[in-house]
Chain A
């Protein structure tokens, strides 16, 4: 357990470096920090680099020995789930560089080679119009990843804002936001997304809107709970007492300290968004043919299920690999950022 805590702290340090707020460590009691974080601190830290914390000092005295690659290797050996970050990086790379990675034009018809089983030239075969399935899957990565990330960015931001405001102001403001969030939660999320996408009309932009709306409640609840916890802390009261403007307290003091649970939630809900996106596209409510999209491709391949079943191999594999990697990476991230809540693969047990 001691080991676990140490690892967590060292990562927190790393995390703090990337933070909007140098020197501030989330989740660590502020008694450990040299000073009250207030407006004065910001001036100091922006002028003179990160404030050294007790933790920094400890780390620099003892543990800063191993080089970064060695530490990374050690991490990966302890938790192989981090390897899936490589898969995710590859997927993102493929999405960005699709025109260079894809061997063929995803939209070019070649009737002469229609519905071919997988070959070396076409590893996932060709579809009913002779288009290369691998190239279509590669271009599909662009749509799935960007719809997933965009919808979470939008839905997550709105939800977080709801939660921040509701949790901070409490009272009737909180109650109004709670009712809105409860109402959104009352709909089975996919049904609401389906209904919104169907009403707005089929397009990728509308798909993003529909998927963003159904993600609002999770973030609102999460942020609200975190804010309620933080509110009792001295530094928030201090900021309020010193007359800091509410907006500044919310965005500069509260928000930076609740980012890690939000980030973990985001990783996991991107995978849900990608799944939902593929379902809606499969049903014909997302991107439309001939746009290469995984769900749409499976819908097209379904017609040939009895004769050319391999036609759905590529897109199906792409969905499973993407969602699986996101889930595992998200789990690893959660265990790392919040060691208390782990439900990992190797739980110690009664002997």
Chain B
């Protein structure tokens, strides 16, 4: 186990290094001189030169990257140009908002997908199965921003039960916070629900054909026990991988959903920073998003091994 984790970490090292390089190079994709783009057309040559020096753009590329990486490793992702504060601090302040939204929508997607998927699989070609199929098809085809706007329209304009947007911290107003959370979490989670539903249904159908399920039936167990205790446990394994991959989609989804629902999270920060050309912030968010996504998938791999001893990786 320890060797497995150690080897995985070792393999992650070159990948992480390349990830950081790609992120670093983002600012060099900007056509022309980044310093001039940042300061606008009217900037004096002196201020451009000063900013170039501040950003380290006057040094060779390799040196720039080395310095940037060295600082990043020490938790320094540079200064936000717009907010006049360290990037890491700007991200840290908004982290709880984004995590609340992301975790809520993940929980929503799994909590809805598992029971519905099991019911669909145990009664295939039934009415519920049909509904599940249609839902998962539509769920993957509707962009989250369209769904978000539709939800606002229905639940904030026609039936006024939820606010059309905004955010109250949980510590200030717990109930208000939860009320604010419902629509964005649903809008963000429906795409994941669709994928998870399909996954649970398919893997349940597969597992239900296994011999040990026949044995369970033959033992005279009740359907509930067979379906939930015997079948579901194994059928959920692939879902773990899917959910791990969904963290990336959810993270990207917060960019859109936070913008629509006016949540002051990392996603909204990134979109604002893109338009104010605050590249250090964009770089910081992209780097942290990639690293945390990598970490999540590492945990999923480890979790897989812990939960299913049959799985072994490599030699």
Contacts and interface: CB of A to CB of B under 8 A. Distances in A.
Interface of A: 179-180, 182-184, 186-192, 194-196, 198-201, 271, 275, 278-279, 282-285, 295, 298, 302, 305-306, 309, 312, 316, 319-320, 323-324, 327-328, 343, 345-347, 349-350
Nearest to A199: B29
B306 interface: no
Contacts of A343: 198, 202
B138 interface: yes
In the complex, the 6 A-B pairs of residues with the closest C-beta atoms, listed nearest first: A188-B248, A190-B252, A199-B29, A183-B18, A324-B141, A323-B141
Given A309-B153, A324-B141, A349-B124, A187 B289 contact: yes
Interface string B226-267: 000000000000000000000111011101100110000000
Contacts of A192: 286, 290
Contact of A186 (B29, B247, B253, B290): B290
A182 B11 CA distance: 10
A188 B290 contact: yes
Q: Which of B133, B157, B290 has the most CB of A within 10 A?
A: B290
Interface stretch (B70-78, B93-101, B142-150): B142-150
19 contacts: A182-B15, A186-B290, A186-B293, A186-B294, A187-B19, A187-B289, A190-B252, A190-B255, A191-B290, A195-B23, A195-B282, A201-B30, A279-B144, A283-B271, A305-B149, A309-B153, A312-B146, A347-B124, A350-B209
Interface of B: 14-16, 18-19, 22-23, 26-27, 29-31, 124-125, 133, 137-138, 140-146, 149-150, 152-153, 157, 198, 202, 205, 208-209, 247-249, 251-253, 255-256, 259-260, 270-271, 274-275, 279, 282, 285-286, 289-291, 293-294
B221 to A, nearest CB: 15
A194 B274 contact: yes
Given A187-B289, A327-B141, 19 more contacts: A179-B14, A183-B19, A186-B291, A187-B293, A188-B290, A190-B253, A191-B290, A195-B282, A199-B279, A201-B31, A279-B145, A295-B143, A305-B152, A319-B141, A320-B146, A323-B141, A324-B141, A343-B198, A349-B208
A198 B37 CA distance: 13
A323 B141 CA distance: 5
Nearest to B18: A183
Q: Which of A186, A190, A279, A316 has the most CB of B within 10 A?
A: A186
B208 A324 contact: no
A198 B282 contact: yes
Contacts of B137: 324, 327-328
Contact of A283 (B205, B248, B255): B255
A320 B290 contact: no
B140 A323 contact: yes
B294 A327 contact: no
A117 to B, nearest CB: 15
Contact of A275 (B19, B143, B285): B143
Contact of B255 (A191, A278, A346): A191
Given A283-B255, A316-B146, A343-B198, A186 B249 contact: no
A319 B146 contact: yes
Contacts of B152: 305
A282 B149 CA distance: 12
Q: Which of A190, A198, A200, A320 has the most CB of B within 10 A?
A: A198
Given A199-B26, A323-B140, A345 B145 contact: no
B15 A347 contact: no
A191 B143 contact: no
A141 B286 CA distance: 31
Contacts of B274: 194, 198, 285
Contacts of A198: 274, 282
Determine the main DSSP class of B at the interface with A. Answer: helix
Contacts of B286: 187, 191-192, 195
A324 B138 contact: yes
A305 B157 contact: yes
Nearest to A342: B202
Nearest to B28: A199
A36 to B, nearest CB: 34
A190 B267 CA distance: 12
A66 to B, nearest CB: 29
Nearest to B140: A327
Contacts of B202: 343
B195 to A, nearest CB: 12
Contacts of A319: 141-143, 146
B146 A298 contact: yes
Contact of A179 (B18, B30, B153, B270): B18
B205 A349 contact: yes
Nearest to A317: B146
Nearest to B267: A191
Nearest to B144: A279
B5 to A, nearest CB: 17
Contacts of A190: 249, 252-253, 255
B252 A194 contact: yes
B15 A191 contact: no
A33 B282 CA distance: 56
B256 A347 contact: no
A306 B157 contact: yes
B133 A191 contact: no
Contacts of A285: 274
Contacts of B23: 195
Nearest to A210: B29
Contacts of B133: 345
A284 B31 CA distance: 18
Contact of B289 (A191, A278, A298): A191
